[in-house]
Amino acid sequence: MTFDSNAWLAEARALIGEAHVLTEDRGDDLTAYVRDWRGKYHGRALAVLRPGSTEEVQAIVRLAARTGVALVPQGGNTGLCGASVPDPEGRQAVLQLGRLNRVREIDPENNTATVEAGCILQSLQEHAMAVGRLFPLSLGAEGSCQLGGNIATNAGGIQVLRYGNMRELVLGLEVVLPDGELLDLLRGLRKDNTGYDLKQLFIGSEGTLGIITAATVKLFPAPSAEVVAFAGMESLTQAVHLLGAMRRHLGERFTAFELISGPATALVRQYFPDTPRFLERDWSWYVLMKAADGGSHEALQDAMQAALMACLEEGHLVDVVLASNLAQSQTFWMQRENITHAQQMDGGNIKHDVALPISRIPEFVDRVLLLLQQVFPDSRPIAYGHLGDGNLHFNISAPPGVSATAWQGQTDAVNQLIHNVVAAMRGSISAEHGIGQLKRHELALYKTPTELDVMRRVKQALDPQGLMNPGKVIA
């Protein structure tokens, strides 16, 4: 049977409203929905559908299942693996969740919030703060990424060290299954041993198993004090020792330990020339450290100072500055958060988002730098990341004079070089960004046949028609 796109679109419009079915034919600009954040993938869409309720999502999913139309769920479209955009064929529909953005309930006593998938992360953080609670997921794209996207990618960010990643922050989920059935797992329980933990299947599934429409997430008491310090050092081993020492001294109050390499700092200064210099001299590596608690600012500042003094005495620290106020802490953070933007402005770079045992990170970096020296001697490694979680963004910028396109052409070779070392050290080729289409082929190289087989069986069981985000994660 031939597919009648006009009839399909008319049915979709009847289900969710004329205004919420966007198409190029009627003059809508779909660019922002079919192109990924990095501009690496450019697709085409049959339509962009913007349902406004869980029932409308169900209706669209039923229509798609009946007619064999593939759906590409999309949140803020800030993902870095090309997972939220359609392929170039123009037959897939983007299911944009932005209108499902209500905070359904905040229960301060239970320390939970039940929120719809399209809620912007920053908005959720603000709602929690308004009742004296913290929703701790925090990342550079928080002003535009959505809770559903954060869950579907199992996002990490800068406070995983203390609060865990998205997988640890979700207590309950509401999911529309690929046949349109509603799977209601919206419970705010910290203990529930009634069989398989189904919600975990959907967390990190990148839209390939169903559409997340709402979640119940954990909240925490909002800290009343936060302090941030910035340190420089010559070796990565020193940074790893410093991490252990600071955790020992500050315990639960220690919430972030972020790594920035010298070249990453230089790149930020090049593209954001107003970035202040925080330390008098340049170092090979820098770390940003944050502590937070529910006491007074002065007491926490004293505790941080005492911890830093102890680290200086123990030989784990050589050069450090403590932010004297909130404005200065923010400038410290900008140095870290602007790295992605500086690399984007700089042009071609090949991203790596790897996880390793923290203790082996210095060895990993030494091994990879040596190999790069041999094979791509002029390439520019821009290393940084969440050292406290053993997660490095080891992005390799193009050699001087090499165009972005030419450098992208080396992606497979560069990936193989780096990811083979990751595999040899029993690390992961995706710590927090996911697989999407960017690493789908590599997944097949680095997972065992049994892991891949179980993943395919789960996919087949839930999405036998293969209509949920095809071409992403698993072939």
Report the distance separating Cα 111 and Cα 108, nearest Å.
Answer: 5
Bridge partner list, 175: 183, 212
Quote the distance between the C-alpha of residue 257 and its chain's center.
17
- Residue 410 CB, nearest distance to ligand 2HG (Å)? 17
Q: What backbone torsions phi and psi does residue 302 show, to the nearest 5 degrees?
A: -65, -40
Residue from 50, 351, 380, 439 in contact with ligand 2HG (CB under 6 A): 351
Q: Is 323 in the site for ligand FAD (CB under 6 A)?
A: no
CA dihedral (140, 250, 322, 219) in degrees, to 10, reads 30
- Residue 117 CB, nearest distance to ligand FAD (Å)? 4
Residue from 206, 226, 258, 293 in contact with ligand FAD (CB under 6 A): 206
Give the residue carrying structure tokens 């070089």. Answer: 417
- Residue 305 CB, nearest distance to ligand 2HG (Å)? 27
> Parallel, antiparallel, or unpaired for β 103-107 and 182-185?
unpaired
- Residue 375 CB, nearest distance to ligand FAD (Å)? 28
Q: Are 111 and 219 in contact (CB under 8 A)?
A: yes
Q: Are 153 and 139 in contact (CB under 8 A)?
A: no
Nearest 5°: the CA angle 360, 366, 371 is 125
Give the residue carrying structure tokens 């940074």. Answer: 239
Query: Mind giving me the DSSP string for 408-449?
Result: HTTHHHHHHHHHHHHHHTT-BSBSSS--TTTSHHHHHHHS-H
Q: Is 207 in the site for ligand FAD (CB under 6 A)?
A: yes
Give the residue carrying structure tokens 């990751």. Answer: 422
Report the distance separating Cα 370 and Cα 229, nearest Å.
Answer: 31
Q: Which range touches ligand FAD (CB under 6 A), out of 137-145, 288-296, 300-308, 459-467?
A: 137-145
Q: Is 73 in the site for ligand FAD (CB under 6 A)?
A: yes
Give the residue carrying structure tokens 């954001």. Answer: 272
Q: Is 432 in the site for ligand FAD (CB under 6 A)?
A: yes
338 binds, among ligand 2HG, ligand FAD, none (CB under 5 to 8 A by kind): none
Q: Which residue is nearest to ligand FAD (CB)?
A: 149
Q: Is 136 in the site for ligand FAD (CB under 6 A)?
A: no
Q: Is 212 in the site for ligand FAD (CB under 6 A)?
A: yes
Q: Is 253 in the site for ligand 2HG (CB under 6 A)?
A: no
DSSP, collapsed to helix, strand or coil, labels residue 65 as helix
Give the residue carrying structure tokens 């559409």. Answer: 211
Q: Is 149 in the site for ligand FAD (CB under 6 A)?
A: yes
Bridge partner list, 288: 230, 258
Q: What backbone torsions phi and psi does residue 211 show, to the nearest 5 degrees?
A: -105, 120
- Residue 472 CB, nearest distance to ligand FAD (Å)? 6
- Name which of 170, 80, 81, 45 is nearest 117 in CA terms: 170
Report the distance separating Cα 157 and Cα 14, nearest Å.
Answer: 40
- Residue 210 CB, nearest distance to ligand FAD (Å)? 7
Q: Is 58 in the site for ligand FAD (CB under 6 A)?
A: no
Q: Is 140 in the site for ligand 2HG (CB under 6 A)?
A: yes
- Residue 440 CB, nearest distance to ligand FAD (Å)? 11
60 binds, among ligand FAD, ligand 2HG, none (CB under 5 to 8 A by kind): none
Q: Which range touches ligand FAD (CB under 6 A), out of 24-32, 79-87, 261-269, 446-454?
A: 79-87
Q: Is 214 in the site for ligand FAD (CB under 6 A)?
A: no
395 binds, among ligand FAD, ligand 2HG, none (CB under 5 to 8 A by kind): ligand 2HG
Nearest 5°: the CA angle 35, 36, 41 is 70
Residues 375-434 close enough to bind ligand 2HG by CB under 6 A: 385, 393, 395
Q: Which is nearer to ligand 2HG, 114 or 165 (CB)?
A: 165
- Residue 257 CB, nearest distance to ligand 2HG (Å)? 13
Q: Is 82 in the site for ligand FAD (CB under 6 A)?
A: no
- Name which of 278, 270, 406 is nearest 343 in CA terms: 270
332 binds, among ligand FAD, ligand 2HG, none (CB under 5 to 8 A by kind): none
Q: Summarize as ranges the residues that interact with ligand 2HG (CB under 6 A).
A: 140, 340, 351, 385, 393, 395
Q: Summarize as ranges the residues that interact with ligand FAD (CB under 6 A).
A: 37, 72-80, 83-84, 97, 117, 139-141, 145-146, 148-150, 152-153, 155-157, 206-207, 211-212, 340, 432-433, 469, 472
